[in-house]
Chains A and B, each alone.
Chain A
Amino acid sequence: MRVRLVLAAVLVSAMAVAAGCGSSSSSGNGGSGSNGSSGPSLPQSIGPLEGSLNLIAWQGYTEDNVVKPFEKQTGCQVNVKYGQTSDEMYKLMQSGNYDGVSASGDASNRLIASGLVSAINTNLISDFGDISPQLQSPPHNTINGVHYGVSYQWGANILMYNKTVVSPAPDSWGVIFDGTSYKGKVDAYDSPIYIADAALYLKSAQPDLKITDPYELTQPQFDAAVNLLKKQHQQIGNYWSSFTAQIQDFTQGSIVIGPTWPYQLNTLKAAKVPVEAVLPKEGATGWADTWMEYSKAAHPNCMLKWMDYATTPEVQAKTAYTFGSAPANPKACAILDKQVKNYCADYHVTDPNYFDHISFWKTPLSECGDSRGNTCVPYTEWFQAWTDIKNS
């Protein structure tokens, strides 16, 4: 099935921006405030606050314990519209009614490419230097050294299984992609971006496909991933999109194996459900969210102040705890570990090698970002393939 692409616009213009944007994210570039000498001129200070701030956020990112102190400190009254999906957030940003958004990697590149978000002078973010190096300038929010936002929270999509049912303990994604032992009791993440998980597996399982980056797939590579998912569809019990639902499914035994986030794992373990999780040998995909400012924001100074505030250890810790995520600023660990034993160790916040195994979500563009040029499958086609997969 075809989607005609409104996004095509975005993707065409994206090529210009994305040219030169390499695929390797793990090394980072230190991110020491390269505030884009080549980019647009950026504000050098935060101007008078406007008294109001309209945000689009994931539910859990703007709880009262975070918002109320901010309102008190700055006088910026915060209004929040919750986004249900990355795609909805993108659409809400197009409406022009909001100052900023907590964008995931599968939305952030689109937002940058379509000029909906503005470059940020990271010198105005006091704790920017404390953010994990890999998240200071990741490819999903930093293009050519220009920062389009500050990282907030992240998580990895690891493989969780029920110990009493799944045996032997898996060490590869193959058990849910190629296996048939748990038919009807396997789950998968319900989003086109999940195609990248299949691609990541194929990268190791079928080296002859020569997959280099699970978000930069040529047509044959993409087709192989889609076919794998169509085959997997026969095994699937549930495609989950809310983590509360997944927690319920594992508790009830309706699902025994599938990709998850550390939060579900820890909650289930705390509830004495016999689950365990691994970072499979192929590595894993992951999500990382970025606060981004609308390019024509009505309240830009309140938004900058918000990004500054959101990076502080206290706020990072509060949100990580509520949302069940890893904070982008490891300084939050001092607070988190006091609240929950081993929080940061469980979420691998302080393990620099962990990032090497995670391919963070980013928007697939037709420009591959390497010598292959303009031959990759763009997100719009990922989208239509997803409908076909689910009804195959």
Chain B
Amino acid sequence: MEPRPVRIGLRIFSLGVMAFLYIPLAVIVMASFNASRIPTWPIKDYTLHWWSLAMHDQHARTALENSFKVGLAATAVALVLGSAAAFALSRFRFFGKNSLSLLLVLPIALPGIVTGLSLLSAIEYLSLTPSLVTVAIGHSTFCIVVVFNNAVARLRRSSSSFEEASMDLGADGWQTFRFITLPNLATALVAGGLLAFALSFDEIVVTNFTAGAQQTLPLWIYNQFRLPNTAQEVNAVAVFVIALTAVPVYLAQRLMRESGGIGGRG
């Protein structure tokens, strides 16, 4: 147990960091009600204009839907591939194992512009038409590592003895997976999936290189900033998205906590 002054110091410092994280968000929320067409501070007059504009904006809605589609597809691919890689790495020993983790990290560690450029060259080389599908393919590539890391950390903590016991007791591979491995892994997958989805949802650089005519939300926002009369609408959309995601993020966190007993704090 840390001495009391240390704990108080930590609490104050943490409060400060959280304030640093949330003051800009508060500014965004307030800006979404700013009557001025220009971002100004302090705000003099308030309006619901941007909100009503955002609620009726078909382009914004389509972009939001596209982002959800891409995010879900990329997360699904990442969940399958990421957990498969995690199993392989944590339950087997094989040649080149260490290089594999480096390989998986690469798409996220290399600058988005390098990843984007590579994918663009590949798309052009294969004469694919850029679309939401190519965006999703690009996103899954750097989402795999997020799922992988969460899954591999959990698998490493939980020994394989439970699985062996299950097999010894006569369960087949599927049953062992369904009733032992998956529940153990579930929370890690939720956490990894959430992060992967968040990464995809907000990605702009790779998206810019791989997208066709259909816009995702970040692309819509990027373009919207150039429209002087309606640029401030983006703040309302941003606040709407935060509000929309707050509930699932909180629920996911609860879920992780409730079933997070295995291998938790000792």
Hey, which bits of chain A sit against chain B, CB under 8 A?
54, 59-60, 79-82, 242-245, 247-248, 251-252, 263, 267-268, 271, 322, 324
CA distance A268 to B223 in the complex (A): 21
Give B39's nearest chain A residue, CB to CB. A248
* CB under 8 Å from chain A, chain B span 146-183: none
- The segment from B12-20, B100-108, B224-232, B235-243 found at the interface with A is B224-232
- Partner of B227 from A60, A251, A252, A268 at Cβ < 8 Å: A60
Q: Can you spell out 27 A-B residue pairs with CB atoms less than 8 angstroms apart?
A: A59-B223, A59-B224, A59-B226, A59-B227, A60-B227, A80-B213, A81-B212, A81-B213, A82-B223, A242-B225, A242-B226, A244-B227, A244-B228, A244-B231, A245-B225, A247-B38, A248-B38, A251-B38, A251-B40, A263-B228, A267-B38, A267-B228, A271-B37, A271-B38, A322-B227, A322-B229, A324-B228
Of residues A60, A79, A244, A248, which shows the largest number of chain B Cβ atoms within 10 Å of its Cβ?
A244
A248: B residues at CB distance < 8 A: 38-39
The 10 closest A-B pairs by CB, nearest first: A59-B223, A59-B226, A244-B231, A251-B38, A242-B226, A248-B39, A79-B213, A247-B38, A82-B223, A81-B213
Closest chain B CB from A60 CB (angstroms): 6
* Residues 34-65 (chain B) with a chain A CB within 8 angstroms: 36-41
Q: In whole angstroms, what is the CA distance A79 to B62 when docked?
A: 14
* B165 CB to nearest A CB, Å: 58
Contact pattern, B 211-229, Cβ under 8 Å of A = 1, otherwise 0: 0110000000001111111
Decide if B228 touches A247 in the complex (CB within 8 Å): yes
Residue of A whose beta carbon sits closest to that of B229:
A322
Q: Separation in Å of the A61 CB from the closest CB of chain B?
A: 11
**Least Cβ–Cβ distance between A65 and chain B, in angstroms:** 12
Mask of B115-157 contacts with A, CB within 8 angstroms, 1/0: 0000000000000000000000000000000000000000000
- Complex formed: what's the CA distance from A251 to B228 in Å? 14
Inter-chain contacts of A247 with B (CB < 8 A): 38, 228
Q: Is B40 touching A244 in the complex (CB atoms < 8 A)? A: no
A322: chain B residues within 8 A (beta carbon) = 227, 229
A residues in contact with B41, CB < 8 Å = 252
Q: How far is it, in angstroms, between the C-alpha of A237 and the C-alpha of B213 when the chains are bound? A: 35
Binary flags per residue of B23-38, CB closer than 8 Å to A gives 1, else 0: 0000000000000111
Extra contacts, 12 of them, besides A60-B227, A243-B228, A247-B38 (Cβ < 8 A), are A54-B213, A59-B227, A60-B226, A242-B226, A244-B225, A245-B225, A247-B228, A252-B40, A267-B37, A271-B38, A322-B229, A324-B228
B residues with a Cβ closer than 8 A to A are 36-41, 212-213, 223-229, 231
Q: With both chains docked as a complex, state the minimum distance between the C-beta of B126 and any C-beta of chain A, in angstroms.
A: 15
* Distance A251 CA – B43 CA, assembled complex (angstroms): 13
Least CB distance from B191 to A in Å reads 36
B223's closest neighbor in chain A, by CB?
Answer: A59
Report the Cα distance A247→B41, complex, angstroms.
Answer: 14
- Which residues of chain A are within 8 angstroms of B213 by Cβ–Cβ distance? 54, 79-81
How long is the Cα–Cα vector from A268 to B36 in the complex, in angstroms? 11
CA–CA, A242 and B225, complex, Å: 8
Chain A nearest CB, measured from B114 CB (Å): 19
B231, closest chain A residue (CB): A244
- Residue in B36, B223, B229 whose beta carbon sits within 8 Å of that of A271 in the complex: B36
The smallest beta-carbon distance between A103 and chain B, in angstroms, is 17
Q: Which of B36, B38, B229, B231 has the most CB of A within 10 A?
A: B38
- Residues in chain B near residue A263, CB distance under 8 A: 228
Residue ID in chain B nearest A55 by CB atoms: B213
Residue of A nearest to B129 (CB): A97
> Across the two chains, which residue of chain A brings its CB closest to B227?
A60
Whole-angstrom distance between the Cβ of B214 and the nearest chain A Cβ? 10
B38: chain A residues within 8 A (beta carbon)? 247-248, 251, 267-268, 271
Q: What distance in Å separates the Cβ of A129 from its nearest Cβ neighbour in chain B?
A: 31
CA separation between A322 and B227, bound complex, in Å?
8
Chain B: CB-nearest residue to A98: B213
Which residue of chain B has the shortest Cβ distance to A270 in the bound complex? B37
Contacts of B212 in A (CB 8 A): 81
Please measure, in the bound complex, the distance between the C-alpha atom of A247 and the C-alpha atom of B229, giving whole angstroms. Answer: 11
Instruction: Give the Cβ gap from A246 to chain B, nearest Cβ, in Å.
Output: 10
Residues of A within 8 A of B36 (CB): 271
Complex Cα gap A274–B38 (Å): 14
A324 to B37, CA, bound (A): 14
Residue among B223, B225, B228, B231 with most chain A CB within 10 A = B228
